[in-house]
Amino acid sequence: MEDYLRRLRDGSLKLYALEKELPPKDAIAIRRRFIEEETGTSLSRIGDCSVALDAIVKKNCENMIGTVQVPVGVAGPVIIRGEHAQGSWYLPLATTEGALIASVNRGCSLITTAGGADVRIFRDGMTRAPVFATNSIIHAKEVTDWIAAHRDDISREAESTTRHGKLTGIETTTAGTSVFMRLSFSTGDAMGMNMVTIASAKAAELISRMTGARLIALSGNWCTDKKPAAVNMVMGRGKTVSAGVHLTGEMVERVLKTDTASLLEVNTRKNLVGSARAGSLGFNAQAANIVAAMFIACGQDPAHVVEGSLCVTTVDPVPDGVYVSVTLPALPVGTVGGGTGIGTQAECLRLLGVSGGGDPPGSNSRKLAEIIAAGVLAGELSLLGALAAQHLARAHSTLGR
């Protein structure tokens, strides 16, 4: 170890090159020791790893020094009546926020009391949007016209790069001499960003060759990836999924300790009017809380919580109570690739019965999206109820906030 540390100190060996000379476990230990010495900070807890390291250093994490552990709890069971998720589930949530899991758990109890959550996926497509430069607005129009007239050619080029990706949509827009093309793909059980990036590159090469437009960037930010954007709110990205439940007045009073009129008014004045007044792109109470906790537990890309928070919560009056629903226009999830193969995250996916590829392809990722949507609905119900009953501060005080 000392020889490697000496080489790191004198610069003859780079931190990222340790795995070229050592097994991952040893490379990580030496890198961590070097960082401890450089910063004067003990990293013994970070070094306590329970996950297999060989695959992680190749696929998931460069310059690895260990792991950060996030507590995982469960909420539920919750009954879900989806097209892909049908049954009862315990939801794994990774969080350090006291009261969150208790809140979701209460919402799950209410949903189950009501007979389960209705869940449906309305759209499924991962997007990538290259940006091209043209010579003039006339040239820009020629490029968009060519794209519209050659959908089949573009599709063949893009799909030649993947076994599972299928081009499902092409949209174009312009800004002066810039042309943006938003490609949407079905990606099976993968979240699919890498898949669609490679496919989009092939399609963009064809367009450049045939139209003379210069490809400036494979992502022109009209995708839109990991940034709050109205285009995702309107057109969707990943899974567009809704979950809803019919609650009687008696259920609301018994479980949430409030009444349906108060629930409806809190949602209108907070989630809808308050969000509009703030210029928010999300019209909900705490959707990001549940999306983040389930994403971290299940090996999803946590940066996509940005898209996952674009949620609209509605409360509709019905003769004997209310129908509460959530719509998540942009929920990018997958059950293969990324962090889904890491041991702890794979266990959480197995807990939900969605680990790996589904049969038929895509069924596991859609099932996961439906389960997450039901979890978001549970969180919204509980927080709206707590606000309507003026219980929010008390709950956080009791549960350690």
Rounded distance between C-alpha atoms, residue 173 and residue 181, angstroms: 7
Tell me the β-bridge partners of 174. 179
CB-based contacts of 6, cutoff 8 Å, min separation 6: none
List, by residue number, the catalytic residues.
97, 301, 396
Rounded distance between C-alpha atoms, residue 247 and residue 254, angstroms: 11
Residue type, 287: A
Tokens representing 2 are 């000392």
Q: Is 16 helix (H, G, I), strand (E, B) or coil?
A: helix
Rounded distance between C-alpha atoms, residue 382 and residue 106, angstroms: 6
Rounded distance between C-alpha atoms, residue 348 and residue 332, angstroms: 17
Q: How far is CA 76 from the centre of its chain?
A: 21
Q: Residue 135: phi, psi to the nearest 5?
A: -85, -25
CB-based contacts of 300, cutoff 8 Å, min separation 6: 191, 294, 332, 333, 334, 338, 339, 340
Rounded distance between C-alpha atoms, residue 134 and residue 136, angstroms: 6
